[in-house]
Structure 1
Amino acid sequence: MGSTTQRSTAEGIVAEIGGPGNIVSLTHCATRLRFVLNDAELVNQSAVEAIPGVMGAVPQSGDRFQVVIGGAVQTTFNQIMNLPEMAGIGKSKLSDADVKAAARGKTRGKSAWIDGFFEYLSDSFRPLLGVLLGASLIIAFAAVLDALGIVDFRAEDKSASWVFLDAMWQGVFTFLPIMVAYNAAKKLNIDPWVGATVMAALMTPEFVSLSDTARFPDTVCTLNETLGTESCVAQIFGLPMQLNGYGGQVFVPLIMVAVLALVYKGLQRVFPENIQMVFVPFFSLAIMIPVTAFLIGPMGIWMGNGIGAGLAWMNGSAPILFAIMIPLIYPFLVPLGLHWPLNALMLMNIQTLGYDFIQGPMGAWNFACFGATAGVLFIAVRDKENEMRETASGALAAGLLGGISEPSLYGIHLRFKRIYPRMLVGCLVGGLITGVFGGVTTEAFAFTSLLTIPVFSPIPLYAISITAAFVTAMLLVIISDYRTPEQKAEGLANRKQAEADLALEAAGPAAPPRTAPAAASASAAGTSTASASAASTPTALIVAPVAGKVVPLDEVADKVFASRALGEGVGIQPTDGRVTSPVAGVLVTVPASGHAFGIKTDDGVEVLVHIGIDTVQLEGKCFEVAVQKRQRVAVGDLLVTADLTGIRDAGYDPTTVVVVINSKTLSSVSPRTGSDVVPGDPIIDVAP
């Protein structure tokens, strides 16, 4: 029943705003759907407001339109975007991929081939995150059993049950080249199964059996003393072919598919379309399997071994420097896609050396990343930033339990530049501890999470280093914040709007405005304005902050204000941009955008002066702020000078709203409407 209602709500909204053809793009904030339309005149506002689940509809400047949903906005947004008729409609909100692409553009320039190279690396591995994570958790489970002495997973005589458990995770790493080849071919827009088949041919039992010197006397095998691996050369059609075990290799499929793409697309140009299905795959396999076996495969192995040997030399010659370098470069490698080749080196180290020395120091980066996210979560909870709280909660869970940094990096860290320097300090601290005390190794490839701590050795050193990295980054973010002052002001404005929308959702239909007793009004009319220093004099009158015509909140073009969810008050259609304080008190809210001011009087009356409807979108343009937060003001002190012409030209309604935020705690709040006023004229009577 619930899903039916949600779907009918989604369909109703789309229909009443003019149908999918009228929608240019759709985004959402914490409580509102934000439409950009081709023609706002096609919207049936009253019909939109009558749809179940809709709390209000707010026309915006130009062809923008907002629909107030409340806490269920994400669900409604998803329902709308999943409607068949919405296929192809744009979502202008930046996705994680958009943030990542923007970060890459700033980091590595605008060369298309460089962008393509890094996207090729990333997209060849990204779809495998799930199975790599699943396999790493199986490894972690096995490591815990091994640490507890339940079973020795390194023993040769394990029972069939435990050998089967090994197969559950080894399947991913053994056949990783086939999976990488499939993804890489798909990325380069060729048949992914051709790429997978080329690598599969080099992993068949027949190809592996070529190293059997008893069966094939012409095959010669030698021992590599440096790496401790055996290298065999077989004679194939009279030509020497180096034999390698390609399980777990990733360089080979990446190089092979790049060459395959040239061959495949060249063959497509040679053969007519009606016979391409047969002959293009046939010739691709006939060409690429020998080329890979004789040339690309051995070359990829040499490259990987060379890089691995270089890092191994650095780890052996300058272990402290190595342990510091790895976590410090990872925050820059991940946005560039270069962390995948390092992951490949980890796999190669395990294949050739029996252990890996990169993952241990890398853990310092991951946990510094998660610590920074925890700091963001702490601030989001403290400041009631619901959207960021949800984002950080999910990212932190994915990190601590899954070892995945992408949700933190793309969802938070690349959006707020203040995070990176603080996170790097955490990386430095964790890496330094790892290096000074001898380094950390592991015999299995594992995502660095809480669940995989037993995989690393020595466990105490690894646990201390990642804890230090986590705590350092978290505390630095909490102490100094992750937002600039402008971002904090914008977040505050958005939160206020969201709180108002949610208050409207909880309150239901707005109650009619209360009318003050005549005696109270008469008394208030003759009362002089309280001075800033007269704390003992109750606030009885709120005066006009700007010249113009006073109108009821019902006539204000914003459902939140009109519903009185933020309190009782008035709207003023301004004729002058000079906005002054309507009461004496202390400024508690002064956003950088300059569009709103919160003032609290000494006897506790809270007044909001909001210049224009949705003018927060102007980001400070058209507003010249004259005051600061926590500043004491008297009645008539200048708050801001607003460029009314600029506001109107930008497509926004300049109506200034004055509301008493804590109306419900006062005896009465009585607006005076329908007259033209100048600053200082009474507009609201207040009875404490």
Structure 2
Amino acid sequence: MRESHLSLQHPKEPQVASKPAADIINSIGGADNIVGFTHCATRLRFTLKDASGIDQAAVEAIPLVLGAVPQTGNRYQVVIGGAVETVYNDIMALPEMKNHGTGDSIADVKAAERAKGPRGKFAALDTFFEILSDSFRPILGALLGASLFITFMALMATLGVIPAWNAPGVTLDPSWQFINLMWQGVFVFLPLMVAYNASKRLGADPWVGFGIMAVVMLPGFAALGQTAGAESVFGGHASVVQIFGLPLTVTDYSSQVFPPLMMAAVLGLLTKGLKKIIPSSVQLIFVPFLSMLIMIPLTAFLIGPMGVYGGAGLGNFLKSINDFSPFIFAVVIPLAYPFMVPLGLHWPLNAIMLLNIQSLGYDFIQGPMGAWNFACFGATAGVLFLAIREKDRLMKQTATGALAAGLLGGISEPSLYGIHLRFKRIYPRMLVGCLVGGVIIGLGGGVKTSAFVFTSLLTIPAFDNIPLYAGAVAASFITAMVLVIISGYKTPEQKAEASAAIALAAESNEDAAFASNAAAPVVAGGTGTATAVATLLATIGSPVAGIVVPLADVPDPVFSKGIVGIGVGVDPTEDTVYAPAAGKVVVAQPTGHAFGLLLDSGVELLIHVGIDTVNLAGKGFDVKVAAGDRVEAGTPLVTFDRKVIEDAGYSLVTPVLVTNPRKFGSIDEVSSGQVTAGAPLITVAAK
């Protein structure tokens, strides 16, 4: 079971994994050597296939690594300290680690959000949206790149450099025609890309799916609609020609997305059926052949026209709502998107946007959607402002990356999953921003765009009414940002945790370097400027009755070497652990095995109940406090069942460690032998 770290960090959307993360994985034999992977309060915990060939010195030479601890049973621990979760997330962002690890990852956040809606309750619906998502996600980069070319053409037309490039009958100069072709390759052949991705996702040969969809996009297929006897239908948008006595609807499949999705769904089922009846020795030949033999006519005669006109029907339905009341439409869309995106329900709307552009020549959904996107980015900007003011380095990094992805790329997921869904106070403020932007667009009569674009700063020129759209998204952004700055995004408990976490993170490297040179508690005068007459700053009582164990004798090298902090161990004789002094609970592990306290004296204290007891996943522990609680000396933190721990083979020795020793002049062990709970255990002197 995954354990939270002592120094609470802000989880973030994995982006580019750091080099130390890759170096750690390579140093232990690569991802293929990993059987299990999690982390605890200070260290990465690996279960490996083979730990015998690891060069421990090489592991410990990696930046951020404070130490490495081989264990029995091919288990291996890499000590990181307060930044353990950041490193864990960086490792999990590595492509080769896709199938390893557990815990509160971005995928977990997405799954938790899906569970709140219909996707989490109906497996078939969940599968449908996963297929839809996987069909589009790999080509989002190409769509984004192409959309910027379209935006550039729109900007040139707005400035009068070129005529209205997408108006009927307009002929551009050959130079501008060439620039205009740069985006068309993506959008004209979009059905082929979707067919490939969807076929692959559904277990069919993706190139077979590509080839099937390519048939209806051939110039020769379009020419069939111009043959003698072809009948024009649907206002000239399609033609019907007789093929072997059957009516074939010939239409333009450029930029269509519903036909390839429907084709891939049928192809996937057909492929599974054919593999059941065709011997494996000849499947390579006959499965593709029979798939194409069946699916090409089926797509051309039935699936293709159904997809084109079914999608057009959905688009016309939304258009009728927009035509009836642009104001209502412009308000509803940005207010719906913050709930649709976490559930993955926005993908069908993306498909309809593309279809609108192909059939109508413009889209009316993306403008209101921009109000949601910029409200999302504005809330992230508010979080970034507060992170800078509070000197919260990790949140600053998370918010900076998310804001850049949003404003420059129009991508909301890093903000949404990395920040907003984790700090629920943000959502109401963000919705106000969505409402303000939607109202402005609605009052202005709506906005349109002739391109499928990602609503970012760079694509504002792609909309027909630039001042209206720019004003609306600016209002969305500023409203959400100001509201987050004014009200904050953390609960009181999260504020208490974060303030202590920031202090811990700021000193983690210095503390680790200092502590790694000490294998036993420091004596008076042993930390540089401290002297034998240093001013006593704090006396820390024993959190549990028991027998004092010198730090060097604690049965865990991570603790005994002083890597985590300076202090002593206590072998308990009773079953309740108490707060040794007044302060704030920074971390209270749900498993009950570890607590981080920020004492009123400024001492940051780790109490780790037993060795490797995280593996009990809370069994035998009854936690009495939560993170953010105020405690006094003698407040119970946890009770434990000695028999459960001992029967599992774990030591009960409880390290009591000062994790920020660099702040102080000396940290002295003042007791030995038997101690009672609350009896003086450690003294801390000022510099």
TM-score strictly above 0.5: yes
Alpha-carbon deviations, 1:361-391, whole Å to 9, x = none?
A: 0111222232333344445555665555444
| Map of 1:533 onto structure 2 | none
TM superposition shift of 1:250: 0.8
Task: Identify unmatched segments of 5+ residues in structure 1.
Answer: 525-536
**For 1:245-302, what per-residue CA distance to the aligned partner results, in whole angstroms no more than 9, with x for missing partners?**
1101111111122223334444444544444434433333333223222222222222
> Would the aligned equivalents of 1:578 and 1:638 in 2 still touch at CA under 8 Å?
no
Counterpart in the other structure of 1:100: 110
Task: Tell me which residue corresponds to 2:642.
Answer: 645
- 1:165 and 2:183 aligned: no
- Taking a change above 3 Å as real, the CA distance of residues 488 and 687 of structure 1, as seen in their structure-2 partners, is closer
1:447 Cα deviation after fit: 0.8
In the alignment, structure 1 residue 467 sits paired with structure 2 residue 474? yes
In 1, the alpha carbon distance for the partners of 2:404 and 2:627 equals 42
Distance 1:159 1:571, change over 3 A: same
Matching residue within 100, 111, 131 for 1:90: 100
Question: Residues of 2 paired with 1:132 and 1:271: CA distance?
Answer: 39
Report the CA distance between 1:484 and its aligned residue: 5.6
Counterparts of 2:492 and 2:649, CA distance in 1:
26
Which residue of the other structure, out of 583, 586, 590, is the alignment partner of 1:587? 583
CA distance in structure 2 between the partners assigned to 1:132 and 1:120 by the alignment: 18
* Structure 2 residue 194 is matched with structure 1 residue 180: yes
Alignment-derived partner of residue 523 in structure 2: 515
Counterpart in the other structure of 1:133:
144
- TM-score scaled by length of structure 1: 0.80
The change in CA–CA distance for 1:77 and 1:303 in structure 2 (over 3 A counts) is closer
Q: Is the Cα contact below 8 Å between 1:551 and 1:673 reproduced in 2? A: no
Larger mean Cα displacement after TM superposition, 44-53 or 384-393: 44-53
- Classify 1:387/1:14 alpha carbon distance in 2 versus 1 (closer, same or farther; 3 Å): farther
Over aligned residue pairs, what C-alpha RMSD do you find?
A: 4.4
| Equivalent position to 2:464, from 450, 457, 475 | 457
Distance in 2 between the 1:658 and 1:392 partners?
35
Report the 3-state secondary structure (helix = DSSP H, G, I; strand = E; otherwise coil) of the residue aligned with 2:451. coil
Q: Residue 435 of structure 2 corresponds to which residue in structure 1?
A: 428
Q: Which residue does 2:672 correspond to in 1?
A: 674
Is 2:74 aligned against 1:66?
A: no
Q: Which has the larger radius of gyration?
A: 1
Distance 1:469 1:556, change over 3 A: farther
Q: 1:220 aligns with which of 231, 234, 238?
A: 231
Is 2:420 the counterpart of 1:406? Answer: no
**1:176 shift after superposition:** 0.7
Q: Relative contact order: is structure 1 or structure 2 higher (C-alpha 8 Å, sep ≥ 6)?
A: 2
**Is this contact kept in 2: 1:611–1:654, CA < 8 A?**
no
| Residues 1:480 and 1:616: Cα distance change in structure 2 (over 3 Å) | farther
Which ranges in structure 2 are unaligned for 5 or more consecutive residues?
A: 1-17
**How far, CA to CA, are the matches of 1:342 and 1:6 in structure 2?**
38
Q: Is the 8 A contact 2:109 2:417 kept in 1?
A: yes
Residues 323-373 of structure 1, C-alpha deviations (whole Å, 9 max, x = no match): 112122223333444323212221222222222111000111222232333
Matched residue of 2:237: which SS? strand
Deviation (angstroms), 1:687: 4.7
Q: Matched residues in 2 for 1:275 and 1:680: separation?
A: 78
Native 8 Å contact 1:321 1:435 kept in 2: yes
How far apart are the structure 2 equivalents of 1:591 and 1:72? 14
Cα displacement string for residues 158-199 of structure 1 (whole angstroms, at most 9, x for unaligned residues): 111111111110111111111111111111111212221222
How many residues are matched? 650
* Contact residue 67 and residue 563 of structure 2 kept, 8 A: no
Equivalent residue letter for 2:642: T
Hey, what's the Cα distance between the residues in 2 that align with 1:382 and 1:406? 24
Moved more, 154-163 or 130-139: 154-163
1:443 alignment partner in structure 2: 450
In the TM superposition, what is the alpha-carbon distance from 1:131 to its structure 2 partner?
Answer: 0.6
Distance 2:41 2:156 in 1: 45
The equivalent of 1:344 in structure 2 is 351
Q: What are the residue-to-residue correspondences of 1:539-618 with 2, within 5 Å?
A: 539=537, 541-556=539-554, 562=560, 568-577=566-575, 582=580, 587-593=583-589, 595-601=595-601, 606=603, 608=605, 610-612=607-609
Evaluate the alpha carbon distance shift between residue 60 and residue 340 of structure 1 in structure 2; reply closer, same or farther with a 3 A threshold: same
Per the alignment, do residues 506 and 278 of structure 1 end up closer, same or farther by CA in structure 2, a change over 3 Å counting? same
Counterpart for residue 52 of structure 1? 61
Counterpart for residue 366 of structure 1:
373
Amino acid at match of 2:461: P
Q: 2:45 matched to which residue of 1?
A: 34
Cα contact 2:129–2:347 (8 A) shared by 1: no
Cα separation, partners in 2 of 1:24 and 1:626, compared to 1, 3 Å: closer
What letter is aligned with 2:133? Answer: S
Shift of 1:200: 1.2
Aligned mates of 2:569, 2:471 — CA distance in 1: 59
- One-letter code of the match for 1:183? N
Residue of 144, 152, 156 corresponding to 2:155:
144
Does 1:197 pair with 2:211?
Answer: yes
Change (3 A) 1:44 1:651: farther
Displacement, 1:94?
5.4
- 1:185 and 1:461 map into 2 onto residues whose CA distance is 41
Aligned equivalents of 2:678, 2:84: Cα separation in 1: 42
1:528 alignment partner in structure 2: none
Q: CA deviation at 1:582?
A: 4.9
CA deviation after TM superposition for structure 1 residue 403, in Å: 1.2
- My pick for the range that moved more, 646-655 or 146-155, is 646-655
**CA 1:385–1:287: 2 relative to 1, 3 Å:** same
SS of residue matched to 1:441:
coil
Identity %: 51
Q: 1:24 aligns with which of 10, 30, 35?
A: 35
Q: Deviations over 1:632-684 (max 9, x none)?
A: x5xx5545453363883688765455555665555544322433222454434
Aligned to 1:442, the other structure's residue is in SS state: coil
Q: Would you say the 8 A contact 2:331–2:439 is kept in 1? A: yes
Render the CA deviation track for 1:11-55: whole Å, top value 9, x for unaligned: 55459xxx976x53124589742224689xx78999579843342
Structure 2 CA distance for partners of 1:500 and 1:92, relative to 1, 3 Å: farther
Q: Is the 8 A contact 2:68 2:76 kept in 1?
A: yes
Whichever residue aligns with residue 191 of structure 1, its letter is D
Secondary structure at 2:624's aligned position in 1? Answer: strand
Q: 1:78 to 1:590 in 2, by over 3 A?
A: closer
Contact 1:589 1:597 in 2 (8 A): yes
> TM-score, normalised to structure 2's length?
0.80
Contact 1:31/1:501 (<8 A) preserved: no
1:202 is matched by which residue type in structure 2? V
Question: How many Å separate the matches in 1 of 2:37 and 2:547?
Answer: 35
Return the offset for 1:515: 3.1
Relative distance call for 1:665 and 1:406 in structure 2 (3 A) is closer
User: Residue 462 of structure 1 aligns to a residue in which SS?
Assistant: helix
Aligned partner (choices 305, 311, 319) of residue 312 of structure 1:
319
Q: Which residue of 2 aligns with 1:259?
A: 266
| Contact 2:670-2:680 at 8 Å conserved across structures | yes
Q: Deviations over 1:557-591 (max 9, x none)?
A: 566765557765433333335555656xx624454
Q: Secondary structure at the match of 1:572?
A: strand
